[in-house]
Structure 1
Amino acid sequence: MASGSGSASTSIDIEGLLKEVPDSMQTTLPEEMCIYHVPVNIRQVNKDAYTPQVICIGPIHQKIENQVMKELKRIYFRQFLDRLRVVEEGKLVETLVKTITRCVDKIRNCYEDAAFEPRKDPKGCEVEILDCSEDDSSKLCEDQKEFCKMILWDAVFIFELFLKHRELKEDKKSQGKKDTEEYQEKYKYDYIIAKPWLRAAIRRDLILLENQLPFWILDDLYGIVSKYIITGCSCPPETDKTCCSCLPKTDCCCPCITFPALARTFFKKYNKSNNNTSPEKPLHFTDLVRSFFLPKETSPEKPLHFTDPVRCCLLPKKPSTRIELRATRLDQAGVKFMPKADEYLIKIRSWTEDDSIKKGELHVPTLKIDDHTDCIFRNLMALEQCHYPYEAFIRGYVIFLDCLVDSKEDVDLLIKNEVIVNKLGESDDVAKLINKLCKEITEVSSLYDNTAKGLNDYYESWYNNWKTYLRRQYFKNVWVGTGTVVGFLVVVSTLGSFVQSFF
């Protein structure tokens, strides 16, 4: 009886249950998807690193944008129209709006939320089957007109910002390091350009994974307006001068300045190796910055070959070889850290991969660490975790770096060897930053497995340890070395005399 009553009390309306199941549902994600919510476990480590502080781009964080920035977007929109050489600006704006409207579904599909659109239940009520935001700010705009308007405001803001930034750089080149009164007058009233700290903060916000517009729609819209854009500077040397009449120190209309070129100029700070092989149409700005750190061997034109040990191959089939040795211990074993200032960030090499490198040398690209380093690396790794799970180049680099650094002494050693440039503060702060970067990051096999094994074997060799000990203890400078040799000769001579007298 008890079991019968219990069964009745837990009975489920099967008909009602089946009504909740949709007739059909998309089981695969849109191929356009490239803008994601940062996974919850990663976000919780440092929420601020993934949240825009100044400017909000795209639908995910629109509801937290302050009114000053919203108004600034309108002002930049007006300033952008003023620089266009066009009679009927209304028709041009209409063309931009129509372009966005035609592509609105494709744009939405670029966002992770698009795979989980609200649906209707049998009673006509909306049922949200996914809400992964904390404050509902990630919900896509339900009104298509508002969504299209948002894309337009944000896109034009980016165009005007990039053009002003380019003009600023061109003016600095033409006038040298000394600011003239004309130069100061031109930019001192611009809300962003006049404030270097604000430009840096906005550049940081434009790299955040959740704060993006698809690159292709920016490129398409810019292609429409580029032929009308009037700039106050000549075309850069790398552009095709045959496409327009560009004369120095005169206004010109420059369709030859492409949007990818503008974007690379704006984010040039992160392109230390002057990587010109970055894709013409990356997914978005996060993807563009990631491409700056990758050697040309990993470009889309050259697909990955997972059997090539020189290429980054991240296959979760075997455990990676971790370096259990800190930089200071490797140094004690005689490993020499050789800085490479203009190399691609992930291009760490040793004698195990390159026969031209002497045994015991580790060639490491110089890494500058400042207030934005934590934010940049976290967003690049979040992109890799979501979109490039088997091509996690940045993640592999950070894990390798974390193996080398365990304390401030390790950081001090790498700073001394010019592998790290510390713009953050104390060495202990740098060590903590590096160690926390890997928290909640999945470790997989990487490009550096052979390097790690080679370093481990080198350290475990008693010969290398004793050779290094003797060199530092008895041959650390010419005087100590000379004394050591003389002392050794005296000991040998004395021992020889003793043996002769004995016999």
Structure 2
Amino acid sequence: MSNNKQALDLTDITISLPVATQGLSMEDPVGLVNAFKPAAVPQNLVQSAEASTTTPTVNESDNARSRMVGRRLRDVKPGEKNVSLDIPEINQPDVTTPNEASTASSPIIYRVTEVQPLYNVDESDDETIGFLLDCAERGQNRSNQRPPSICKVSRILRDHSESSYEPQLVSIGPIHRENEKLQEFELLKECYLNDLLHRCHDSTPRETLEACLLKVNTLLPQVRESYAGMIENYRDADFARMMVMDGCFILEFCFKHEEENLYLPNKMQNSRIAMDLMLLENQIPFFVLQALFDCSMGKGSFTLSNVLDKYLASYIKLFHSQLPEKNSTTDVVDSDSTHDHILGYLHKRYQLVVAKSSNPIHAEASKLLDREGIENTYTTFHSIVELDRSGMNFKPHQEYIWSMTIKFQSSLVACLPWFGSKPTLLMPTLVIDDITELILRNFIAYEQLFPKDHYYFTSYAHAMDMLIDTQEDIAKLVESKVLVNILGSNQEAADMINKICKNISITDFYYTQEFKQMDTYYNGYWPKNIARLRRIYFNNPWNAIALLAAIILFFLTVVQTLFAIMAA
């Protein structure tokens, strides 16, 4: 040991004895040190201390000296320095055990402090961690599955018009199956099932049902994945029975469109059922409907798309013009495997699809696909009345490009009154009745919940909401034959359009360029002044004649004055 060692000063050491030290004395220094050892001492130090007490690593003379230090340490009184112990003096509350002092020339010093773990994991925590890991694993499995296409509409959308999402007569699928007011129609489904089975002449009713049920059972895992919740309590047999019954009802309902319906003699009930069949919450997967159609009708000259187009889509009259013909688009609607359900199929019938050709109409339509985020589209927008006062005209579009086309037409001389032309906003003729809100809300909900499809109806509804503020805006559009109001008062129509886009978000707005052009026109200097001139002096022929006479009289007066000055 070095000759520069300092004596150990025990006067500054304050030790709080733990409970484990009761019954111990200085006769047992190793036991005393173990009593002070904290529960979370670093492992390397614990191993070092244990090795020093079990395996001698020094010679016998050092062990004898260690025992002598232990005996003399008992006789040290508080506040005394014992240089004869040859223990270095320290100024911090460290404790050196005799065994540790014997392991090297300089003793190993333990600091008597309690080390707390960052987090104590007990049995309840183990259960929680296991539960959360199971949740994470289930989440990973769901992320790998096909996203559901049929679900309840979120509360944010339902709060504004809950009746727009709930069936009134017939329940399709499991979501509204337990609704008591719809149970009466379940008996009529049996009649429709019987008629469909006897419509098939190539097989007996039993053979047809066996084929349908066998096909649905093979598709059952995919069918369950198509629904978000509400199906856990259904056994496979009950679920398959529901799919067959509801699918057969939909097919037979379409076939009875042009026949005398003994079950529903009231035409209004037929229209109401058609509305129920397009609700987002009232659907079955399209591939189930296709499978039932193939099993019951076989491979004929017509397809399921033909049936839906001819019999069901005719009830969905949102615009005055009919749904687009297939030859005006690509065959997006011909591939039945791409549809989620009937609502998804109808949504694609309104979809803007540009064929790969040199047709100028297609080239014009392709510009509508160049869309931007609505947040970057404009800073201000103007109502129909404001645009009318700036000299703009409103007309229904005549040439077909897209059923929801909104196009702004203008020219350099369009604002001049003597050219007889005005800037014009071309719009589709919208029919507002008691089902317009239902159709728009379900199409918008489908676009909001499943953004893989385009925001056609969301964009159109936002555009109408920006253009219409009051009943005066509705009146102007009705006057311009751009809008047909069967709902009632103009105020009711304005309120319906203003409410339909509440809590609706949109990332792709299809009318970006049109609203930019209208804003540029509205903020120009000449449009407002010339529009005011036209309203005051050119609103009828007599005012125009009076203005022309005043201009001629003013010109003659100026000429007469000039000649009088020259003669003088």
Give the drift of 1:96. Answer: 0.6
Deviates more, 1:474-483 or 1:484-493: 474-483
CA contact (8 A) 2:397 2:428 kept: yes
Q: Distance in 2 between matches of 1:337 and 1:317?
A: 23
Is 1:287–2:344 an aligned residue pair? yes
- Secondary structure of residue in 2 paired with 1:310: helix
Distance 1:62 1:210, change over 3 A: same
The correspondence of residues 74-85 of structure 1 with structure 2, limited to 5 A, is 74-85=190-201
- Secondary structure of residue in 1 paired with 2:376: coil
**1:374-429 per-position Cα deviation (integer Å, ceiling 9, x unaligned):** 01100100100111267211101110111110000000000000110011000001
Amino acid at match of 1:500: F
**1:41-94 per-position Cα deviation (integer Å, ceiling 9, x unaligned):** 111111111111111111111111532111111111112222221453212211
Query: Could you tell me which residue of structure 2 aligns to residue 207 of structure 1?
Result: 278
The correspondence of residues 58-207 of structure 1 with structure 2, limited to 5 A, is 58-64=173-179, 66-86=182-202, 88-113=204-229, 138-165=230-257, 167-168=258-259, 186-187=260-261, 190-192=262-264, 194-207=265-278
365, 389, 406: which one pairs with 1:332?
389
The correspondence of residues 234-253 of structure 1 with structure 2, limited to 5 A, is none
Q: Number of residues paired by the alignment?
A: 418
- Secondary structure of residue in 2 paired with 1:97: helix
**1:81-130 per-position Cα deviation (integer Å, ceiling 9, x unaligned):** 222214532122111101000000111111223xxxxxxxxxxxxxxxxx
Is 1:260–2:305 an aligned residue pair? yes
Query: Could you tell me which residue of structure 1 aligns to residue 124 of structure 2?
Result: 13
427, 434, 450: which one pairs with 1:387?
450
Question: TM-score, length-normalised on structure 2?
Answer: 0.68
CA contact (8 A) 2:271 2:315 kept: no
Query: Could you tell me which residue of structure 2 aligns to residue 46 of structure 1?
Result: 161
Q: Distance in 2 between matches of 1:198 and 1:480?
A: 55
Query: Could you tell me which residue of structure 2 aligns to residue 459 of structure 1?
Result: 522
Give the drift of 1:320. Answer: 2.8
The correspondence of residues 324-473 of structure 1 with structure 2, limited to 5 A, is 324-340=381-397, 343=400, 344-351=402-409, 360-388=423-451, 391-473=454-536
262, 270, 285: which one pairs with 2:316?
270
Give the drift of 1:468. Answer: 1.4
Distance 1:310 1:208, change over 3 A: same
Deviates more, 1:442-451 or 1:40-49: 442-451
Amino acid at match of 1:217: V
Q: Distance in 2 between matches of 1:362 and 1:460?
A: 16
Question: TM-score, length-normalised on structure 1?
Answer: 0.77
- Secondary structure of residue in 1 paired with 2:426: strand
CA contact (8 A) 2:372 2:512 kept: no
362, 369, 372: which one pairs with 1:312?
369
Structure with max Cα Rg:
2
Amino acid at match of 1:328: V
Amino acid at match of 2:166: T
Q: Distance in 2 between matches of 1:141 and 1:164?
A: 34
Gaps of 5+ in 1: 1-6, 114-137, 169-185, 228-253, 300-307
- Secondary structure of residue in 2 paired with 1:100: helix
**1:186-239 per-position Cα deviation (integer Å, ceiling 9, x unaligned):** 44xx222x1111111111111111111111221121012114xxxxxxxxxxxx
Give the drift of 1:315. Answer: 5.4
CA contact (8 A) 1:297 1:311 kept: no
Q: Distance in 2 between matches of 1:404 and 1:108?
A: 42
Give the drift of 1:342. Answer: 7.3
Percent identity of equivalent pairs: 23
Distance 1:57 1:391, change over 3 A: same
- Secondary structure of residue in 1 paired with 2:431: strand
Deviates more, 1:29-38 or 1:468-477: 29-38
Distance 1:78 1:274, change over 3 A: same
Q: Distance in 1 between matches of 2:513 and 2:283?
A: 36
Q: Distance in 2 between matches of 1:322 and 1:163?
A: 51
Q: Distance in 2 between matches of 1:157 and 1:502?
A: 96
